[in-house]
Every structure is written in C-alpha cells, then in structure tokens.
Amino acid sequence: MKRLSLIWLLLPAALLLAAFIVMPTFDLIRASIFDPEFTLKHFQRLVERGVYVDVMWRTVRVSLIVAVICTIVGYPVAMFINLQPKKRQVALLFLILIPMWMSVLIRTFAWIVVLGREGLINDLMIGLGLADGPVQMLYTSGTVITAMVQIMLPIQIITCYSAMTEIDLDLMRAARVLGARRWQALTRVYLPLSYDGTLTGLVIVFMMSMGFFITPALLGGRQDMMIANLIEFQVQHLNWSFAAAIGIVLLVLTVAMILLLRWTGRFAFRRLLNVGR
C-alpha cells in the first residue's frame, strides 16, 4: 500500500520526463540514423566536412576556456565570501545570485550596450583620446568569451562556495598555530578540501557552455558559431535528420568531455597532494 502511494507521487514527474526528455531523445537517435532506411550518412557528413569539424572543436575549446577562466576567477571570490562572518555571507551571496537568475538574453543584450559602436566603452575611449573612432568589439571571439564567463561565473562561484562551507575553518587555524604560513595553510589545507567542489563547478560550467546558443549568435561573428547555432541553422533549413545527428554528437561529446575532465581532475589532485609531501 505504502509503496503504491509512492509510485503515485512519482508518476507526474516520471510522465513529464518520459514524454519531454526520454522519448524525444530516442526519437532524435532514430531520426539521425534512419532516413528512411538505416544510414550513417549524416554522421559521415559531419566528420567529413571541415566546417562542421571546426564548429565542434571550437565548441569544445571555447567551453573549456570559459570553464577554466571561471574556475580561476571564481575561486577567490567564493573563498572571500566563505571567510566572511555568517550574516555578511548571506548579503554578499545575493550579489552573486541576482545576476545568476537574470535572463541570458538580457545579460547578452547588456554587453551589446556596453561594447557596441555607440556603447559605453567606445564612448569612454574616444572621450579619453584613446581611440580616434569607434573600435569594433562586437562580433569578435574575445567578446563572446568575456560575456560567457560573466554569464557562467555566478554558477562557478555558488558551486565552489557550497563546497567551501563544508570546510572546518578550525583546520586552517590549527595549521596556522602549528607554524604554517598563510599561503601554506591555503594551499595545503583549504585548497585540497575545496578541490572537489571546484572541479564540480568546472564541469558544470563546461557542460552548460557546450550548449550555448544566444551569446555566440548575438556577440560573435560567423567565425564564432557553436554547435547549438549550427543545429538551429540546420533546423531553419529543414535538415532535421542532420540536426538530430549534430544533437547526438553534442550530447556524446559533452558526456565524454565530462568524464575526461573528472578523470584528469582526480589525477591532477593526486599529483598535487604528492607534490605537497
């Protein structure tokens, strides 16, 4: 009886996921390999054309760059919050959470306002005599990465921070009392204890970056097209089967990279501990 009622509780969620996540995934797999007979031509086309291979590598590369920058830039931010008095932590977290929940579309638009021809930065540079005319900043790879890091950074900070709250700060005090310098206490105690959460943050940011669509489309040029943009392009041209094949590749590539990142991360961690000894 009890088990039965639990199944009822799970039913709406299960139906929702089955209908809109699981079944469509199988549909996509089928659409990518049956057209209408079994064929691998869509995948072949994907790996044979240089343009498509370029887009795939770029997506992995940009996502990796964004994830690494977010990790390096975000770690000290999370650490700063975690070392504040409890009441203050809540207030500071708000400053990170508000942009995190802001629409990506609006945050990307904000960068257009800042970096556009008539935008703030150009206005400042011309005003200060640093530039003669408007500098082209939109539609460049640097801008895409700057904006993507800004959009993903809160997620990295929050993930890192939640891992850091588990650290017993008395351990830091103990290290200091036992003669460790502040830097040593940081690298030998704090860093190893927050390593797992930091790695999780890196993986999450990487994963979400892989599916980025809005920012490369609005802030980047043709040379910044990512997999999601390629999928949309193919859908607009009614090449659904090919779009499905790209979608499958995106998912497989993401999962493979996540496993690789976790494995490399663990390996690097062991090396890090050995070096400390």
Partner 1 sequence: MRVMQTSRMLAVYFWAMVVYLIFPIIIVLPVSFSDSELLRFPPTAFSMRWYQSYFNDPVWVDATLISFRVAVVSMVISTTAGTLAALAINAVPKHLAGPLTYGATLPIVIPHIFIALGVFILAIRTGLTDNELMLALAHAAVAMPFVVLITSAAIRQIDPTIARAARVLGAGPLRAFRVATLPPLIPAIAAAAIFAFFVSFDELIIAQFLMKGSETLPMRIWADLRLDFNPTVAAVSTLLIVVTTLAMGVAETLRRRAARTLAP
Q: Is 62 in the site for partner 1 (CB under 8 A)?
A: no
Position of tokens 């959470």? 97
Query: Is the CA virtual torsion 107, 103, 207, 58 positive or negative?
Result: negative
Residue 171 · residue 157 · CB < 8 Å: no
Nearer to partner 1 by Cβ, of 27 and 54: the residue is: 27
Window of 43-51, 192-200, 205-213, 265-273 that interacts with partner 1 by CB under 8 A: 205-213
Work out the number of other CB atoms within 10 angstroms of the CB of residue 176.
14
Q: Is 254 in the site for partner 1 (CB under 8 A)?
A: yes
Alpha carbon 269 to chain centroid distance?
21
Q: Is 106 in the site for partner 1 (CB under 8 A)?
A: yes
Q: Read out DSSP for 44-95? A: HHHHHSHHHHHHHHHHHHHHHHHHHHHHHHHHHHHHHHHTS-HHHHHHHHHH
Window of 38-46, 48-56, 236-244, 260-268 that interacts with partner 1 by CB under 8 A: 236-244
Residues 6+ apart with CB under 8 A from 138: 112, 115, 116, 117, 219
Nearer to partner 1 by Cβ, of 144 and 153: the residue is: 153
Residues 6+ apart with CB under 8 A from 192: 269, 272, 273, 276
Q: Is 110 in the site for partner 1 (CB under 8 A)?
A: yes
Q: Is 183 in the site for partner 1 (CB under 8 A)?
A: no
Under rule CB under 8 A, which residues in 11-30 are in contact with partner 1? Answer: 12-14, 16-17, 19-21, 23-25, 27-28
For the CB of residue 38, give the shortest distance to partner 1 in the complex, in Å.
18
Nearer to partner 1 by Cβ, of 66 and 185: the residue is: 185
Q: Out of 47, 102, 256, 273, which residue is the one contacting partner 1 (CB under 8 A)?
A: 102
Window of 39-47, 70-78, 158-166, 193-201 that interacts with partner 1 by CB under 8 A: 70-78
Window of 33-41, 44-52, 172-180, 265-273 that interacts with partner 1 by CB under 8 A: 172-180
Token pair, residue 256, equals 């493979």
Q: Is 244 in the site for partner 1 (CB under 8 A)?
A: yes
